[in-house]
Chain A
Amino acid sequence: MGISLLAPAFLVALAAIAIPILVHLTHRHRRDVTRFPSLQFLERVPYRAVRRQRIRHWLLFAARSLAIVLLVVAFARPFVDRLGAGAAGGGGGTEVALLMDRSYSMSYGDSWDRARRAAREALDAVGPDDRVSLITFADDAVIAVEATADPAVIRQVLDTMTASVGRTRYAPALQLARQIAARSDLSRRQAVLISDFQDSGWDRSADVSLPKGVEFRAVDVSTRESANVLVADARIQRSGRSGGGREEVFVLARVVNQGEAPVRAHRVALEIDGREVERRDVALDARGAATVRFGPVPQPASKARATVRSADDALLADNAFHFVLPPRPTVSLLSVEGAGRTSRRSLYLRQALEISHEPAFLVQSKHGDQVRVQDLSGRAMVVLNGAPFPRGAVGRALVEFVRNGGGLWIVLGQGSALESWPTEARPLLPGTWSEPVDRVPREGTALGTIEYGHPVFAIFSAPESGDLSSPRFFRYRVIEMDTAGVVLARFADGSVALAERHHGKGKTLVLASALDNLWNDLPVQPVYLPLVHQVARYLGGRNIEQPWYQAGQIIDAALFQQTQEDDPAEGAGGDLVVESPSGARVSISMEGADRFVSLLDPGFYGLRRGGRRVDAHPIAVNADRSESDRRALDTEELGAAVTATRDPEAATVPFTAPAGMLTLAERERRQNMWWYILIVALVVLVAESVASNRLPAHSARLERHQEAPRG
């Protein structure tokens, strides 16, 4: 029987006892130095050198040396070897990276519990010489527990951990595992990936290979069951006005059954501001989808928090779809038509502007002679669609409308004679124009030069984002520019196609050709819709607000600040705090880095100012629906990619600890001597700290006493 050491190599660390000696010796000759980028701001103050206290040194030196010896012995893991076995060692331990999928699909049924069980089983097999790291991942990967020889730490973390609302991404986690394996000094390395292995989580272009020699084990905790009904999307359809004159909306929700069995009478409900307003039962085929139409419901007076909620099933995170129900369309347009049938002339314009999940534009068309001054009230933009300039009071009101910030789009059609524009309206125009001309009657001409930096064309600047050269223009008016106007686009022959002029707070765009499909084929080209939308956004002066965001997105807090602009009463003082759906609160500011808010939880984010809720602009957040797609990944294919750089013989192997090593280890573990030695070392260190804190004061008193004037 004798004392053996499980990790005798640690005794090498006894050399560290030289450290206090070196510190002691070198400290005599130089002071501690703090390296700092620049001293230019530091005031030069005299440094009061404290006389060295030699008595303290010897006492503290002994304590520190003893602590080092005890720590080294503790780490060498001593134990009484009653069987006379030799010292342990030889072979080293295993570096284990435990990769735990926390994406929200793991909350399906009992997948999460199975995953934690699998993790604990993997930890049970960990030997005393092994180290384990815990990597958790969903959208991001995080080393939740750095490499430790104590599996209890990881068990503790696993006990409190829950699935997140993020989607699966394997690559970042495997990259971190690669880093851990690459820097490990242990002889064996393993990566254990515990997941439900969704195909959607694997980006096949990402490099997920592990270093040569790393064993990879995939633990699949998915359930065979696939039943899941989710609310994939919800959008608003405006229905016009009810009999009482109040605007009404329909809510269209897309409900998807991902299960292999049909679903009969699945309950789906619409909630507005937390109250259920309508409930429907929907039948869904196996792997089928249906659109559920709620409403009409009255248009709320202010932004409302709306949720389409499906009956609970095995996966809860995708059962609710949140969105903000805005009070009214954001841009109201008046299209003034020239001679001819109004409906036909404005057909394409109206169709283009009203095609939207949530109509951002409310278009009203009128003949030029039917327009009244009050028709301009509340408008963000007016389109003179082949119409002459309105006469009399309406014309004067239109000039005032632009000067005060309104947008005017002049579409030069058959009725757009320049003579109809009175002198007082000319400041609205970027130039003058002539009678229509047919430059190339058969083939037409195309757009040549385009200012892609202008907001109207910016979205077309990226490759394959819209071919603006495809529309053919057969007839247009030649615009002669004034110096105050700016050309935004030209035809291939150099003639101006689109020009702009600012007047007061507003702006005017002039299109040299018409918006029907007679003068050009623009309305039947794919770029027509986005182009018209961009023009309306630009001239309407508003950005379209997003009804919902995806979990994980980061937004600018300015989205919340609209409350100040809309309602000065809400702009009163007090700290701004964003409240998440889970109730967590984060202070924000409107400037600097604190103005960004990470949207992590599904539900509604609201704003509080001075402790009071100011919810005029809630932000709706939904979990990424791609995570609901539970199609399975072929783990062998993933394993092949992960081990792609390895030798063929280094195949994926089961995760087991070496038996011979466990015998010594188990004996050591039963005795736990290292633990008691560690406690003694800590007691010595505490004593050393107390002594080192007291001695300076004592020495200082001595010093003052010695320096005091005698007598």
Chain B
Amino acid sequence: MITRFLDPAVLARIDNLDLVARTVVDGFVSGLHQSPHLGHSIDFAEHRAYMPGDDIRRIDWRVYGRTDRLYVKEFEAETNANMSVLIDISASMDFTSGAVTKLDYARYLAACLVYFSYHQRDRVGLITFDRDVVTQVPPTGRRLDSVLHSIDRITPGGPGELARPLRRIAEGIRRRSILVLLSDLYEPPETAIQAINRLRTRGNDLIVFHLMDPAELEFDFEEATQFEDLETGERIPVVPDRVRSGYRGLLHDHVAELGRRMGENRIDYTLLRTTSPLDHALFDYLSRRHKMARVR
């Protein structure tokens, strides 16, 4: 009943990423009965004196430090918020047991999110990383095509790491942003949370989509073979029947721990299978974006 054109395996037949994004997002938006415009996007305009009732978050503390008087920032409405998609392109993302690799899925999802946000009048940007930042397109409100083109050109990188690239990304963010991280999060939860938490500087809102292939989750391999680590090239002999339950248990604990710690750190976290229709992820994003719009 829910077989739709939005199935990633079907989308994989379309070469044009712009068309993929348009197909998914337009279908998704037409599926909503309300306009998804989220509003509340503001640009700094000028200062004015603080008055009781003003949101204290808007007090400009630097001006206060210089003048010893309270001023609040006035903003103009209807401009853009910043939204950047952070894609983990490490070699482990180049895995699939079906039609779509995790990296391809990340590309489709990133294209859809960017396309969707761009039409919300947000500024959209892109950062890819493996052990370090590989490409960086600063948030722009004008060049959707260049962002989509950059997504289209993504190729798998080398071994991955979260701490170093995310620290560099955090240092480079100059304005409060919505950051959407797409990764398979093959790091110990403690390390991953520490790395991701660095992105919270400047009050950034974080949304993490944890991308996993069904074969990684189920480990439904049959043949006893050598298993080769995509990132390190290390090989070990594995008899799937013998390790399956242990593997599933460890992975389940890993995912549960990630979810718990993300929740504790107020980071929106969603585990996505690469077979999940993309509009489900868009729904998640939209509902969280709505929440952010209310609390910002």
Taken together as a complex, chains A and B put the C-alpha atoms of A35 and B229 apart, in Å, by 6
User: Cβ of B134: which chain A residues have Cβ within 8 Å of it?
Assistant: none
- Chain B residues, Cβ within 8 Å of A584: 1
> When each residue 240-273 of chain B gets 1 if its CB lies under 8 Å from chain A and 0 otherwise, what string results?
0011001100110010000000000000000010
Say which residue of A47, A480, A552, A597 sits within 8 Å of B237 (CB atoms). A47
Whether A561 sits at the interface, judged by CB under 8 Å, is: no
Complex-state Cα separation, A496 to B53, whole angstroms: 9
Q: Hey, which chain B residues are within 8 Å of A44, CB to CB?
A: 236
Contact of A48 with B by CB under 8 A: yes
Closest chain-A Cβ to B210's Cβ sits at a distance in Å of 13
User: With A42-B243, A175-B19, A584-B1 in contact, do A47 and B238 touch (Cβ < 8 Å)?
Assistant: yes
The 8 A CB mask of A38-57 against B (1 = contact, 0 = none) is: 11111111111000000000
Bound Cα distance from A510 to B277, whole angstroms: 45
Cα–Cα, bound, A432→B239 (Å): 75
Chain A residues with CB below 8 A from B216, complex form: 36-37
Contact of A41 among B1, B41, B228, B247 (CB under 8 A): B247
User: Closest CB of chain A to B69's CB: distance in Å?
Assistant: 16
User: Does A201 reach chain B (CB closer than 8 Å)?
Assistant: no
C-alpha spacing A37/B41, complex, angstroms = 39
The answer on a CB contact under 8 Å between A554 and B279 is yes
CB–CB B13/A46 < 8 A: no
Q: Once the chains bind, are B294 and A453 in contact (CB under 8 Å)?
A: yes
User: Using a CB-CB cutoff of 8 Å, which residues 427-462 of chain A contact chain B?
Assistant: 430-431, 449-453, 455, 457-462
Give complex CA distance A255, B112 in Å.
39
> Which of the residues A37, A465, A494 comes within 8 Å of B51, measured between beta carbons?
A494
Least distance between A345 CB and chain B CB atoms (Å): 28
* A423 part of interface (Cβ distance < 8 Å): no
Q: Is the beta-carbon distance between B1 and A556 smaller than 8 angstroms? A: no
Contacts A462-B37, A482-B52, A584-B1 hold; do A35 and B230 have CB atoms under 8 A apart? yes
Which chain B residues (1-53) contact chain A, with CB distance < 8 Å?
1-2, 4-5, 10, 13-16, 19, 23, 27-28, 30-33, 35, 37-42, 48, 51-53
A579 to chain B, nearest CB (A): 10
CA–CA, A684 and B276, complex, Å:
40
Contact A593 B280 (CB under 8 A): yes
Q: Considering the chains assembled together, what is the distance between the CA atoms of A550 and B277 in angstroms?
A: 20
A463-B78, A486-B53, A554-B31 as given contacts; A42 in contact with B276, CB under 8 Å: no
| Nearest opposing residue in chain B for A601, CB measure | B1
- A429 → B minimal CB distance (Å): 12
Summed over the interface, the residue pairs from A and B with CB atoms below 8 Å come to a total of 194
Q: Tell yes or no: A553 within 8 A of B by CB.
A: yes
- Taking a contact as CB atoms under 8 Å apart, the answer to whether B279 and A499 are in contact is no
Confirm or deny: A586 has a beta carbon within 8 angstroms of a beta carbon on chain B. yes
Partner of B186, one of A32, A40, A182, A480: A40
Looking at the assembled complex, report how far the CB atom of B128 sits from the nearest CB atom of chain A, in whole angstroms.
17
Mask of A200-240 contacts with B, CB within 8 angstroms, 1/0: 00000000000000000000000000000000000000000
Given contacts A35-B228, A38-B231, A452-B39, are A43 and B246 in contact (CB under 8 A)?
A: yes
Q: Which residue of B lies closest to A457 (CB)?
A: B39
Contact string against B for A residues 541-556, beta-carbon threshold 8 Å, 1 for contact and 0 otherwise: 0000010011011101
Q: Is B95 an interface residue (CB 8 A)?
A: yes
The stretch of A89-97, A138-146, A263-271, A353-361 that contacts the partner chain: A138-146
Taking the nearest CB of chain A, how far is it from the CB of B73, in angstroms?
11
State the Cβ distance, A591 to closest chain B Cβ, in Å.
11
B234 interfacial contact with A, CB 8 Å: yes
A108-144 toward B: CB 8 Å interface, digit per residue (1/0)? 0000000000000000000000000000000111110
Contacts of B55 in A (CB 8 A): 486-487
- Specify which chain B residues have a CB less than 8 angstroms from the CB of A550 in the assembled complex: 33
Q: A36-B229, A175-B19, A494-B51 are in contact. Are A598 and B4 (CB under 8 A)?
A: yes
When the two chains form the complex, which single residue of A43, A458, A485 contacts B243, counting CB atoms closer than 8 Å? A43
Complexed CA–CA distance, A44 and B242 (Å): 10
Nearest B-chain residue to A468, judged by Cβ: B77
Chain B residues whose CB sits within 8 angstroms of the CB of A41 once the complex forms = 247, 250-251, 254
Residues 477 to 514 of chain A near chain B (Cβ within 8 Å): 480-483, 485-487, 494, 496, 499
Q: In the assembled complex, how far is the CB of residue A46 from the closest CB belonging to chain B, in whole angstroms?
A: 7
Chain A CB within 8 A of B223 CB: yes
B235 within 8 A of A: yes
Contact with B along A171-199 (1 / 0, CB 8 A): 01001100100100000000000000000
- Chain A contacts for B23, CB-based, 8 A: 172
Give Cα A140 to B14, complex, Å. Answer: 13
Smallest Cβ-Cβ distance to B237: which chain A residue: A47
Q: Which residue of B lies closest to A490 (CB)?
A: B51
Instruction: Please determine whether A431 and B225 come into contact, CB atoms closer than 8 angstroms.
Output: no
Residue of B nearest to A495 (CB): B51
Are B227 and A39 interface neighbours, CB within 8 A? yes
- A690 within 8 A of partner (CB): no
Chain A 252-292 near chain B by CB (<8 Å), digits 1 or 0: 00000000000000000000000000000000000000000
Partner of B30 from the list A46, A486, A552 (CB cut-off 8 Å) is: A552
CB-based nearest A residue for B56: A483
Task: List chain A residues, Cβ under 8 A from B38.
Answer: 458, 461
Query: Does the CB pair B54–A34 fall under 8 Å?
Result: no
B residues near A175, Cβ cutoff 8 Å: 14, 16, 19
A499 touches B53 (CB 8 A): yes
Q: How far is the CA of A436 from the CA of B231 in the complex (A)?
A: 72
> With the chains together, A598 CA to B221 CA distance in Å?
32
Identify which of B51, B186, B243 contacts A481 (C-beta below 8 A).
B51
Choice from A32, A450, A481, A596 contacting B52 with Cβ under 8 Å? A481
Known contacts A42-B243, A458-B39; 5 further A-B pairs (Cβ under 8 A): A45-B243, A462-B37, A463-B78, A487-B51, A596-B2
The 27 sampled A-B contact pairs (Cβ below 8 Å) are A34-B221, A36-B230, A37-B186, A37-B229, A38-B186, A38-B231, A39-B236, A41-B251, A42-B247, A45-B243, A172-B23, A176-B14, A179-B14, A452-B41, A452-B78, A458-B38, A459-B35, A461-B37, A461-B77, A480-B52, A483-B53, A485-B52, A485-B53, A487-B51, A550-B33, A593-B272, A593-B276
Interface residues of A (CB under 8 A from B): 31-48, 139-143, 172, 175-176, 179, 182, 430-431, 449-453, 455, 457-463, 465, 480-483, 485-487, 494, 496, 499, 546, 549-550, 552-554, 556, 580, 584, 586, 593, 596-598, 600
